[in-house]
Homo-oligomer: A and B are copies of this chain.
Amino acid sequence: MIVAMKEGTSRSEAEQFAETLKKEGVAVHFSEGASRIVLGLVGDTSAVNGENLKAHHLVEKVIRVQEPYKRANRLFHPADTSVEIRTAGGTARIGGGTLGIIAGPCSVESREQIVDVARAVKKAGAAFLRGGAFKPRTSPYSFQGLGCGGLDLLLEVKKETGLPVVTELMGIHQLELFADVDVIQVGARNMQNFTLLRELGRCGKPVLLKRGLASTLTELLMAAEYIMAGGNDRIILCERGIRSFDNYTRNVLDISAIPALKRQSHLPVIVDPSHATGLSWMVPAMAKAAVAAGADGIIVEVHNNPEAALCDGEQSLTPGAFSLLMDALRKYADIEGKRVS
């Protein structure tokens, strides 16, 4: 950590300030320039709160050289982490050379719908079934999901198809209900719901953590760190589009987040082209781009009748379109030396 003192700070003032820093267990090096003194803090600076240092009247700037997350940091864990789920038929995997494909409807709407879609995506090659039971909706007057009934349908279909289930948790009060869910999804709007993250750190289940609409990559990794600090390192990071000034697509899918996150962290990174674009015709192009850029998987919406969907129909692929996409993704995975789960 680098601390630049304000112009005019004297050597003795800087030394006095350095004494308070040393109490936090770090060594302090001095660089005395023509116009200002710069301090280099050496040692474990994760205990030092840079924001607090800025409050000091002699401090001009505080700059972190090392990222503030540890467990999520590739520096301390060079090998790729993969997340694995034991299934009836074997093991479903995301990361570590396996492209994990998660597919299903935005919302569970009926037994018929979820069974139809589950069978179709399984046949096409998906390894996980997604489906919302509790839906976070911008309007209190929109369809809010089937709730517990939807969850029951998902678990029923899981039994029938053997597909592990990925579904979104809205709050810690629902944790018990999710006992048989395979991967718990944290939505973009909950990425910094720290109460929830802390609780998930204790639950031992894989967590699919979606990037907030205006969250930096560092903030996403700090959210992962919250979960990992509790002892749970089975985390899948998910890029799902960020807010921008253009509104042709619902959000801007930040494909560069894939190589950026994978360089900084050992955790697997997947992409949600359906929510990012909001446009079903654009989903295949963006799914292929994600794989080309190194993604460890895709989470994509598939509906047996998008025009009648209760939620997000305009972004859902038909089973036929999904099957064609899978054919393309297999070719891309092949070039990148990955297998499709």
Main secondary structure of the interface of A (DSSP, over half): mixed
Sample (25) of A-B pairs whose CB atoms are under 8 Å apart: A2-B63, A29-B32, A31-B40, A33-B40, A33-B43, A52-B309, A52-B311, A54-B314, A55-B307, A55-B309, A55-B313, A137-B194, A139-B222, A170-B195, A189-B194, A214-B214, A214-B243, A217-B248, A242-B245, A246-B254, A248-B256, A252-B252, A252-B254, A252-B256, A292-B332
Q: Does A16 contact B (CB under 8 A)?
A: no
Given that A171-B196, A194-B170 are known contacts, is A285 also in contact with B258, CB under 8 Å in the complex?
Answer: yes
Q: Which residues of B contact A75 (CB under 8 A)?
A: 7
Q: Does A282 contact B (CB under 8 A)?
A: yes
Are A285 and B292 closer than 8 Å at their CB atoms? yes
Q: How many residues of A contact B (CB 8 A)?
A: 109
Are B306 and A282 closer than 8 Å at their CB atoms? no
| Candidates B31, B65, B276, B307; contact of A29 at CB < 8 Å | B31
Give the copy number. 4
Kindly provide the distance from the CB of A274 to the nearest chain B CB, expressed in whole angstroms: 12
For window 35-58 of chain A, which residues contact chain B by CB distance below 8 Å?
35-36, 38, 40, 42-44, 46-47, 49, 51-52, 54-57
A2 to chain B: closest residue by CB: B2
Given that A259-B285, A290-B289 are known contacts, is A173 also in contact with B192, CB under 8 Å in the complex?
Answer: no
